[in-house]
């Protein structure tokens, strides 16, 4: 593993570029569609200690299965890596043969990788909790395992709303979780990454060692290489006051307007969101919310419990609750706040950041997705940002648009026969909310399959610097998640 310390090859500013980056950016890139019968996959199989899995092998479908079943993930082959050195071999193989390389662990951040080699990192499952307050986590580990093991030491990790998500993918996208207004993003607490960059070198990136890479990996979402492990700070939290309270759809307008005015005055000790949901009628769900439209207010408070009860009390008085699940809870049960589904399904997603949320915006949203709207969306969520998110981290990162006050996110069913209707409705919803929208997005909520999406995720300076760094660290242009950065440089 490289232990050298680099200066910033892209310059310390957004416009600076090292000579190597400039030369590489002008070079032509190899073909991205090498036929599988022309690739010496047997050679790769002999170089890794993990498994090489081809499309005809029984394990192929399981290893390529994405969480969002609507995304086709059909690579030329899968390397189920067992060590970081296996990742090095896979990346170098891709570079030699002019084929792109992608990565997947849990399938939550799945991308279309046709014509590519897919590195599957689920076996990189190391996890060490240091009682003095930090963790080292392999790329195959999910958040719930970290939450459970940290809890044994009275510690907490800044996981997201869905603890079944992989630690690395979530963190490299910034990571806005249920206590983000109080403690910031997951990426704000990273100490180090170990990553195989596109030139096939295993590097350790910290604030002092390859600081340019450290900047890019916090927000760059896999565009700078394949992360094999991450180290981050833990917090001394064992319990929180939080959960969700559910109301009938008939109360949607009142609850949403009350949440809007109440949340405007919240201190940063509180993180909250509100969601209009149409959940299926299945036995796994509580009867009061299954098979019907409801509205749910989520809340997390890490301070004094009685103070939290007092702060949340106004939302209890808005209407009669179907379920009131806001109370003292173990921090490790963080996933109960949002109740995101543990199983994948075909889904559509729509997201945008809002500049404001006046009464007119609430009325518009209720008309678009509330009772009687005919909305096909399963979940339409508004998250309040601000607090420690807007304040930023001590060290700059590639996370853009942190000062936005609200996030709007919708998930719909992506099954054949309804998927087009769901997408059209989502586009109509975004158009209806355009008067209060910034047009910008957060990377963990965006598929980044188009240049339009990428331009919405990163501000121009961040995008330019990421492109320069990608060109430097990936001279063959093989990291599939960086396609948009290569395209932006050519454009």
Q: What are the contacts of 9-13 at 24+ separation with CB within 8 A?
A: 9/212, 9/468, 9/469, 9/472, 9/473, 10/212, 10/465, 10/468, 10/469, 10/472, 11/465, 11/468
Q: Phi then psi for 423, rounded to 5 degrees? A: -65, -40
Q: 179 with 271: CB under 8 angstroms?
A: yes
Cα(240)–Cα(299) distance, integer angstroms: 10
Cα(252)–Cα(122) distance, integer angstroms: 41
Across 17-88, where does the E strand assignment appear? 51-53, 77-80
Cα dihedral: 271, 276, 279, 285 (round 10): 40
Contacts (Cβ under 8 Å, ≥6 apart) of 402: 385, 389, 390, 392
Residue with tokens 């969520």: 381
Q: Which of 102, 95, 143, 138 is nearest to 120 (CA)?
A: 102
Residue with tokens 């960059």: 197
Cα(111)–Cα(118) distance, integer angstroms: 10
Q: Which of 183, 140, 186 is nearest to 159 (CA)?
A: 186
Residue with tokens 């909310």: 433
Cα(56)–Cα(99) distance, integer angstroms: 20
Q: Phi then psi for 335, rounded to 5 degrees? A: -65, -20
Q: Phi then psi for 434, rounded to 5 degrees? A: -60, -35
Per-residue tokens: 159: 């996981």
Going residue by residue through the chain, which has 491 residues, state the pLDDT in tens, using 9 for 90 and above.
444 444 456 543 333 333 333 222 323 333 355 555 678 999 999 999 999 999 999 998 888 876 665 666 788 999 999 999 999 999 999 999 999 999 987 655 555 677 889 999 999 999 999 999 999 999 999 999 999 999 999 999 999 999 999 999 999 999 999 999 999 999 999 999 999 999 999 999 999 999 999 999 999 998 999 999 999 999 999 999 999 999 999 999 999 999 999 999 999 999 999 999 999 898 889 999 999 999 999 999 999 999 999 999 999 999 999 999 999 999 999 999 998 877 666 778 999 999 999 999 999 999 999 999 999 999 999 999 999 999 988 889 999 999 999 999 999 988 888 889 999 999 999 999 999 999 999 999 887 677 888 889 999 999 999 999 999 999 999 998 887 777 665 55
Pair type for strands 321-324 and 239-248: antiparallel
Pair type for strands 226-233 and 190-196: antiparallel
Domains with residue ranges and CATH for the chain: 1-236+457-491 (3.30.465.10), 239-451 (3.40.462.20)
Residue with tokens 């060692």: 209
Q: Phi then psi for 240, rounded to 5 degrees? A: -135, 165
Per-residue tokens: 49: 């200690």
- Sheet with 190-196, strands from edge to edge, namely 127-130, 134-138, 226-233, 190-196, 202-205
């Amino acid at each position: 593993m490289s232990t050298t310390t680099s200066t910033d090859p892209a310059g310390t500013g957004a416009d600076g570029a090292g000579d190597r980056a400039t030369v590489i950016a002008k070079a032509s890139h190899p073909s991205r569609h090498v036929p599988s019968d022309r690739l010496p996959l047997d050679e790769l199989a002999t170089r890794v200690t993990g498994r090489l899995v081809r499309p005809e092998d029984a394990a192929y479908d399981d290893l390529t299965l994405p969480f969002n079943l609507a995304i086709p993930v059909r690579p030329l082959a899968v390397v189920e890596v067992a060590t970081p050195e296996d990742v090095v071999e896979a990346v170098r193989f891709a570079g030699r043969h002019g084929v792109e390389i992608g990565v997947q662990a849990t399938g939550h951040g799945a991308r279309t990788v046709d014509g590519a080699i897919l590195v599957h990192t689920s076996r990189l499952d190391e996890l060490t909790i240091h009682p003095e307050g930090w963790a080292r986590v392999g790329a195959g580990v999910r958040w719930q395992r970290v939450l459970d093991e940290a809890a044994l030491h009275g510690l907490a990790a800044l996981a997201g709303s869905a603890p079944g998500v992989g630690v690395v993918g979530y963190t490299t996208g910034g990571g806005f979780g249920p206590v983000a207004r109080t403690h910031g993003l997951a990426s704000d607490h990273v100490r180090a990454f170990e990553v195989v960059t596109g030139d096939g070198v295993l590097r350790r990136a910290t604030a002092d060692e390859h600081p340019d890479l450290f900047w890019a990996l916090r927000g760059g979402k896999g565009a700078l290489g394949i992360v094999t492990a991450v180290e981050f700070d833990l917090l001394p939290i064992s319990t929180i006051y939080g959960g969700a309270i559910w109301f009938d759809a008939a109360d949607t307008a009142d609850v949403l307007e009350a949440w809007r005015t109440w949340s405007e005055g919240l201190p940063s000790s509180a993180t909250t969101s509100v969601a209009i949901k149409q959940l299926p009628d299945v036995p796994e769900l509580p009867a009061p919310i299954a098979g019907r439209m409801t509205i749910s207010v989520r809340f997390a408070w890490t301070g004094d419990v009685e103070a939290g009860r007092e702060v949340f009390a106004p939302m209890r008085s808005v209407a009669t609750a179907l379920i009131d699940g806001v109370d003292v809870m173990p921090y490790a049960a963080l996933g109960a706040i949002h109740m995101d589904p543990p199983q994948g399904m075909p889904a559509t997603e729509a997201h945008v950041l809002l500049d404001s949320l006046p009464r007119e915006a609430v009325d518009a949203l209720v008309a678009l997705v509330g009772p009687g709207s005919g909305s096909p969306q399963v979940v339409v969520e508004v998250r309040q940002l601000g607090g420690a998110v807007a304040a930023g981290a001590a060290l700059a990162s590639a996370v853009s648009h942190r000062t936005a006050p609200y996030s709007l996110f919708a998930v719909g069913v992506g099954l054949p026969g309804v998927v087009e209707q769901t997408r059209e409705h989502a586009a109509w919803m975004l158009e209806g909310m355009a008067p209060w929208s910034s047009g910008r997005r957060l990377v963990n909520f965006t598929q980044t399959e188009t240049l339009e999406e990428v331009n919405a995720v990163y501000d121009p300076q961040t995008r330019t610097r990421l492109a320069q760094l990608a060109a430097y660290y990936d001279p063959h242009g093989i990291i599939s998640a960086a396609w948009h950065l290569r395209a932006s440089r050519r454009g």
